[in-house]
Amino acid sequence: MKDIFIKWAKMYPLSQPVDFIKLAYQNRFGTGHMIADRQEAEKRLFEEWRSVKDMPREEETDIGGGYCIVGLKGLPRRLLPAVSAAFVAAASGKSSEEIFMGSLEEIKDLARKGLLPFDRQKARRDIDRYLAGGIRPTSHSRQYKSAYSPAYRVADMAVYRQYKENLSKGE
């Protein structure tokens, strides 16, 4: 995760520790926590896409663990089924609390080295606060939401790319 965290810090320099915690969670646990009803998930995807479809396009970002983040801004409508299928496929998760906890330690270490946009004390404090509530999904920080207006889905990278390839072949 080290390289992914460093890349993320460069792409989103206003990220807070919780944003890196969220990234580490998505890398290890996928999206299983988000899909209670597939039809409702597809409806929410379409509604969110409609609100950002005319914004500049954001390409997918590899977040490790076989997952990618697919930006909805400017996404062609024809790719929505691919996003939906890959989002659902990511629900299986490759859960590993041990690896996740190692990623949290990496966040603290990178902050100590000055490679993240906050110091080690803030990283430690925010990670401790997060862990006090148990390992669980979390939201982006207010700063991140305000600066970047995130609109994306975590997707199984192989499924997403296969759907895209099939679409380009006309299948």
Per-residue model confidence as pLDDT tens digits over 36-84: 567 887 888 999 999 999 999 988 899 998 999 999 999 999 999 889 8
Residue 40: C-alpha distances to residues 151, 160, 161 (Å): 17, 20, 23
Residue 61's pLDDT is 93
Q: Which letter does DSSP use for residue 117 in this model?
A: S
Contact 138, 33 (CB under 8 A): no
pLDDT digits (tens, 9 = 90+) for 18-34: 999 999 999 988 876 56
Is it the case that residue 171 has pLDDT exceeding 80?
Answer: no
For residue 149 the two structure tokens come to: 């207006």
pLDDT of residue 39: 82
Evaluate the CA torsion angle 142, 144, 149, 152 in order and state its sign: negative
Q: Once rounded to an integer, what is the mean pLDDT over residues 141-169?
A: 91
- Rounded CA-CA distance 160/163 in Å is 5
Give 134 or 89, the one with higher predicted confidence.
Answer: 134
Max Cα-Cα span within the chain: 52
Report the DSSP beta bridge partners of residue 164. Answer: none
Contact between residue 64 and residue 1 where contact means Cβ atoms under 8 Å apart = yes
Residue 115 is predicted with a pLDDT of 98
Domains in the chain: how many in total? 1
Do residues 49 and 134 make contact, with C-beta atoms less than 8 angstroms apart?
no
Q: If residue 70 lies in a helix (H) or strand (E), which one and from where to where?
A: strand 67-71
Confidence class of residue 140 from pLDDT cuts 50, 70 and 90?
very high
Which domain covers residue 95, as residue numbers? 5-168
Average pLDDT of the residues in 128-138: 95
Per-residue pLDDT band for 109 (boundaries 50, 70, 90) equals: very high
pTM comes to 0.90
Mean pLDDT taken over the chain: 91
The mean pLDDT of 151-167, rounded to a whole number, is 90
